[in-house]
Every structure is written in structure tokens, then in C-alpha cells.
Structure 1
Amino acid sequence: MDNLTHGLLGLAIGALRRPDGQRAPAPGQGPRLDGPGLRWTSPTDRAVLFGCVLAAELPDLDGFLPAADPVLQALQTHRGLTHALVFAPVWALCATGIARLIYRRARSRPVFSYSLASVLFAHLLTDLWTGWGTRILLPISDQRYSLDWAAVIDPFFTLPLLAGALWALARKRSWRRSLLVGLTIAAAYMGFRVGSREILVRRVERAYPAATRVEVFPALLSALSWRYAAILPEGYSLGRVSIFGPVEPVRTQDLPAELPERAADNPTVAEALVWARVPHVSIQEREGGVLEVRVADLRYNMGGEPTLQFVVLVGPQGETLEARLERGGTIGEVYRRWKDDRRGALPAEGGAG
């Protein structure tokens, strides 16, 4: 998910630890943290909160790692080993070390334990439940896993966490309660989404009994609406479905074109095809025997049209001449398409080239 959500969720996970001041301090050591006279938190309390926020952000440092081209950076380098379970203790150790440098009197064990929990639940899990997915089992398995519970940006999940953090800043005497209330609301919302998706998958499967596979994935900026793709022998059926509404077909789409051997063997094209669970592929021959290959995943669409494409120029020997991401136009163009999609304005039907 986005980095704001990672950090806020990490902060809330840090608040799960019972602060030192609630462990009945000896006479003269100060008030309880949950009492009306709050004036202090221990170095360990502060280090845990700081370490959890930091640990929740560290895996995305992979965005600075080198890659052969932007497509491989997005699909292979990002959310690769840095987002695997085996690497989580490394991030927790880094966060603990930095927190201990700042809060020298803090105890290492609770800082490490909660930093590890933050890496696992505030970053790895939240990336896993998006449609983009992550290779969480590297190096044991190279498979990309995705739960499709939420979009990469979901304000309905983020806002309770943000409200809890702001309330904790404003009402410091009840900081922990504020953070935990925000966490509880966000967790309840995500639980609702998990249950909704299971119901909608069954509903779409009943609507398309001939489908070999059904994908149900989040719609942008919506708590109730979802998108689906039914993979049929003759092509794709794309549409919308809501927990309180019917299954609405939007358009049909041909199955992807078969790639020439030199394009199919290209590492960048192959990586894009592994990522695309509902692939849309178009090929255009350019001057000098260069092939322009466009790979999209129709899980990312508005009105059935892809909003994210990986474009690879493949040379005569199968080499990558250029690779880039196209995100559906400018922000204004994407916003207009999103509004049209919300109103149900449908494009003309068409197949993949």
C-alpha cells in the first residue's frame, strides 16, 4: 500500500504494547500512563513506537535499487527479496538499531519484537492484500502472491488510522486508546472487505458457469464496488459487481494474441506476463524489425480499458531496446475516465491486437 498507510499502521501496532507506565511504577517514579496526570513515557515506549513506524517503511527502500529497465524495477526489484518473510528480521534489526541510537536507555527486546511485527503486518501483509501482490516466499518460491482485498490506495482503511494518530497528538493523555480505536475500525473495515470478496467471487462464478477462472478485485476509491474478470474459452468478460447490487457486465475482450518467439523469450516481456493475471497483449511491428509489445492486466481498467501498461521495444535478436510504464494518461485524463466509469459510460467493445 502507500507509505502513509504503512507508517500509520506501524504506529498503531506499536501501541498494542502495554506501556511501561501501566506496570504499576514504584512510588515516586511517576503517574500511570493511562491516568489523568500523564506527563511521561519511558524510553522503551518511545523507541517501540519509533521503531514500528520505521520498520513499516524500510522495505520500500528497494525503490532505490538498480534494475535493467523500469519494467523490471517495478515488477522484479520492487517487492522482491526486500518484501520476503526471510528478510523481515533484517528490517526489524535495522529499525531497532536506529531506535536504540536515538533512545539509548530503551530495552532492545521489545523494540525488536514489535518492529518485527510491524514489518510483517504493517508492510508485508498490506502489500500482500493488494492486487499488485508480492513475492513473499523468496527465495524458496518465485511465485507472486496476491489476496486482492484492497487497492494500493484505500482511504477507507487509511482514514481511521490517520484520525487515531491525529487524536493521539491532540489528546496525549489518551494517546494509546486513540491509536487502538483507529486500528480497530480499520481492521473491522478490512474484515468486511475480506468477507465481501468471498461472497462476490461465488456470485460471479454462478453468473459464469462456463468460466475457467474468475478474478474479483477492488475498484478504485470504493468501499462497496468491485470489478471482476471471468475467463471464458472464447475470451474475457469484464464487469462490475457490488455487495448490494447485481453482476454487471461491462464489455468482452478477446484472449491475448500469441507472441512471436523472440518477444515471448524476452525477459522483460516474460516478467510482465507473469505479473498479469488477466493479460491484454498488443503487438505492433516498427521499422527495422523492432516489435512494440504492450502488456496490460485488465484487473487495472476503467470501463474495460487498461489503465496501466508495460511497453517493451524488442529488437531483432530479442533484446530489450526500451521499456517503460504507461499509467493511462495524465492525472486529469485518468480522473475523467474514472468519473465516466463511475457513471457507467462504456467504451465500444473491441479485442486485443
Structure 2
Amino acid sequence: MDNLTHGLLGLAIGALRRPDVRPGAPARSTPTDRAVLLASVLAAELPDLDTLLARGDAVTVALHAHRGLSHSLVFTPVVALAATLVARAVFRGARWTPVLVTSLVSVVFAHLLPDLWTGWGTRVLLPFSDARLSLDWTVVVDPWVTLPLVVGAVVAWRRRAVWRKAVLVGLACSMAYVGARVVSWGVLTGRVDRAYPEAQAVRVFPAPLSFRTWRYVARLPGDVLAAGELSLLGEPREDRRVEAPVDVLPEDLKAIPTVREALAWARFPLVTVVPVEGGREVRIADLRYHLRGEPTLTFVVRVDKGGKVTDARLERGGSASELLRRWRGGDAREARPD
């Protein structure tokens, strides 16, 4: 998820803890109350500092940034401890236990889990496994996850007397939306399964800026991928079938770290290798990111004759405005030959 959403989720998790109320004293926040809120927001944001540590070519950085060791479960106590130390330094006298416990919860539920439920995924099992796990419930930037949290935070800022209720109502609305996405994902996955009984694997993915429309990919016998769209009220509508052999790269190309990283990222890869002046160009697209069956996200790696990467880039299938125009094209698809 984006950093705004992470931070607002952290604030909401901090608000879940009932503030301290001293007997006979006016309702006023204590150093512990304030430290809990600050630490929760910090803990929700700190894992993304690994962006500053990402090194290498454009492809490697794009795939490593935001998905390093700081995003793993085993590193969670370190992130929580760092957030706790900062919060207690700012609000002296805050108690250790509530600040540290809330920070731990915030790292897991305000950062790791939201990253996990996106289509891009995250590596929560590092260093034991390099696998990128994903639940495919929402896109990375989903305004319907974020907007209720923003509204709750704005109301809390304007009306201090009900700040906690406002933040928690925003959290409840946001999580209700995510819950609806989970249910939709399960229903639509079953629908695609029934439409392709011969499929070896099927997967449903969220489409950007749309709750109703989803994308799907089915791997069929003979290394064939079927890609299409479906809506909550409709049946799967296939856009394209393409041959996509699982293992098409020669061993020397697969051994290149940049290529290997892109292959590990792609779950339904479309891989091509073409000769270019001075070497070869490897193009690795993932059909889960498609528009009318055409990939919209491709990693391109150029390798010289000695096996050295000379250029690496990410192609997004056009500018944001072009993709939006194509997405809004709806049913106006070009006819394809049989």
C-alpha cells in the first residue's frame, strides 16, 4: 500500500487502545497515550525505509524497494522497538509495555498485511524464503481503502472531543471495504474455476479504479494462458489466449540476477528473447497486469555478449492517461482473428 494509507492505519491501530483515565482527574491524554499514537504511526511507516537501501539497476530497485528485510515478520520486533524508542524520547514518562505492544501490532497490521493483500505482494518470510506472497485483494493504491481513513483523521483533527471515535469509524469503513473485496475475490475465483475446468491454475486480480471489474488469468494445458475480465454480476469474458512456455530462457540468462529477480516476480510470465546489437534483450511481462489481454507492465533487460546487463527498465504500456483511455474503452475491443 501507499505510505499515506500505512500511516493512517497506524494511527487507527493506536486509537484502538483506550486512553488512560486517572480517577478523579479530567479526561486528558497522558504521555503514554501520546506515545502510543506516535509509535503506531512510526511503526507503520518505518519498514519502507528500505527504499533508501535499494541498489542496482532500475529493475532490481523496482522489485527490491519496499520489499526488503524490514518487511519480514522476523524483523518486526526491531521496527517496533525503534518506533518505541523514538516515541518515548519525545514523550518522556510513557510506559514501555503499551507503546511497544501497540507498535508491534501496527507493524504487522498497518504495514505487512496491507502490503500482502495487494497484487504486488511482499516478502514476509525473509530471510528463510525469498518468495513474494500476495493475496490479490486490492491494488497498491486503492482510494476506497484510504478515503475513509482520511475522512476519519480530518474529523478527528477538527473535532478533538470525538477524535478517537472518528478515527475508529474510518477504520471500520475501510476494513468493511477490504472485507467486501475478500468476499468478491473468493466468489469470482470460483466463477473462473468453473469456466475453465481444465485449468491447471487460475487467479483473479483487482483492476485499478474499479470495485466491479476484475481481471483473471488461467493456465491451461499445453502452456497456454487465457486472460480476460469479469464483473461481480457477469461471467468471465476471455480477451486473449497465448502460448507461454514456463521455461524458455537459456541457463546463462536465468543466472543473471536482474533477470532472475524479474522471473521470480512474474506469476504468469510472458517471456521473449530477441537479438539486439551487441547482445540480447529479455522482455518479461506478467499477464496478471493486462488490459484487454495485452500486458501493461514489462521488465526489459538488455545483456551484452559477455552476460553483463547494459540496460534495464520498466515499461508500463504507455502513459497513465493512455492506459486510462484504453481502460475506459470498455467493450470497444479490436476484433481478433480466429
Q: TM-score range by the shorter chain?
A: over 0.9
How much has 1:231 moved relative to structure 2? 0.7
Counterpart of 2:13 in structure 1 is: 13
Counterpart for residue 26 of structure 1: 23
CA distance in 2, matches of 1:89, 1:263: 38
- TM-score normalized by the length of structure 1: 0.91
**In 2, distance between residues paired with 1:237 and 1:312?**
25
Change (3 A) 1:81 1:5: same
The answer to whether the Cα contact below 8 Å between 2:200 and 2:219 also exists between their aligned partners in 1 is yes
Residues 129-155 of structure 1: CA deviation (Å, up to 9, x unaligned): 111111111112222211111110111
Match of 2:169 in 1: 181
The match for 1:126 is 114
Change (3 A) 1:347 1:115: farther
Of 223, 230, 248, which residue of structure 2 is paired with 1:258?
A: 248
Query: Which residue does 2:293 correspond to in 1?
Result: 304
Matches of 1:300 and 1:246 in 2, distance apart? Answer: 20
**Native 8 Å contact 2:54 2:64 kept in 1:** no
- Whether 1:278 aligns to 2:278 is no
Question: Match of 2:230?
Answer: 241
Change (3 A) 1:309 1:347: farther
1:77-88 matched pairs, under 5 angstroms: 77-88=65-76
1:348 Cα shift?
5.8
Q: For 1:15, what is the secondary structure of its paired residue?
A: helix
Within the alignment, does 1:49 sit opposite 2:18 as a pair?
A: no
Q: How far apart, in 1, do the equivalents of 2:96 and 2:280 lie?
A: 55
Contact 1:72 1:271 in 2 (8 A): yes
| Paired residues for 1:69-148 under 5 Å | 69-148=57-136
Unmatched 5+ stretches in structure 2? none
Worse-superposed segment, 243-252 or 113-122: 243-252
Q: 1:283: Cα distance to partner?
A: 2.0
SS of 1:238's equivalent in the other structure is strand
In the alignment, residue 287 of structure 1 is paired with which amino acid?
E
Distance 1:349 1:324 in 2: 30
Deviation at 1:339, TM superposition (A): 1.9
Deviations 1:167-204 (A, max 9, x none): 11121101111111111111111111111111111110
Give the CA deviation at 1:281: 1.5
Paired with 2:49 and 2:295, the residues of 1 have a C-alpha distance of 28
1:34 maps to what in 2? none
Query: Distance between the aligned counterparts of 1:5 and 1:145, measured in 2?
Result: 20
1:337 and 1:51 map into 2 onto residues whose CA distance is 43
What is the distance in 2 between the residues matched to 1:345 and 1:177? 46
Structure 1: gaps (5+ residues): 32-39
CA distance change for structure 1 residues 349 and 261 in 2, over 3 Å: closer, same or farther? Answer: farther
**Number of residue pairs aligned between Structure 1 and Structure 2:** 335
2:200 to 212, 225, 228: 212
The 8 Å contact of residues 303 and 347 in structure 1, kept in 2 or not, is answered as no
Q: Note if contact 2:43-2:104 (Cα within 8 Å) is conserved in structure 1.
A: yes
- 2:167 matches 1:170: no
How large is the RMSD of aligned CA atoms in angstroms? 1.6
- What do residues 292-319 of structure 1 show as CA deviations (whole Å, max 9, x unaligned)? 1111111111112222111101121222
**Secondary structure, in 3 states, of the residue corresponding to 1:100?**
helix
Counterpart-to-counterpart distance in 2, 1:265 and 1:347: 39
Q: CA deviation at 1:259?
A: 2.0
Return the match for 2:311 from 317, 322, 346.
322
Whether contact under 8 Å (1:282, 1:295) holds in the other structure is yes
Separation in 2, partners of 1:271, 1:153: 23
CA contact (8 A) 2:148 2:174 kept: yes
Q: What residue in structure 1 maps to residue 277 of structure 2?
A: 287
Q: Secondary structure at the match of 1:20?
A: coil
Amino acid at match of 1:100: R
Structure 1 contact 253–349 (Cα < 8 Å) conserved: no
Q: Can you list the C-alpha shifts for 1:105-129, whole angstroms capped at 9, x where unaligned?
A: 2222211111111110000000011
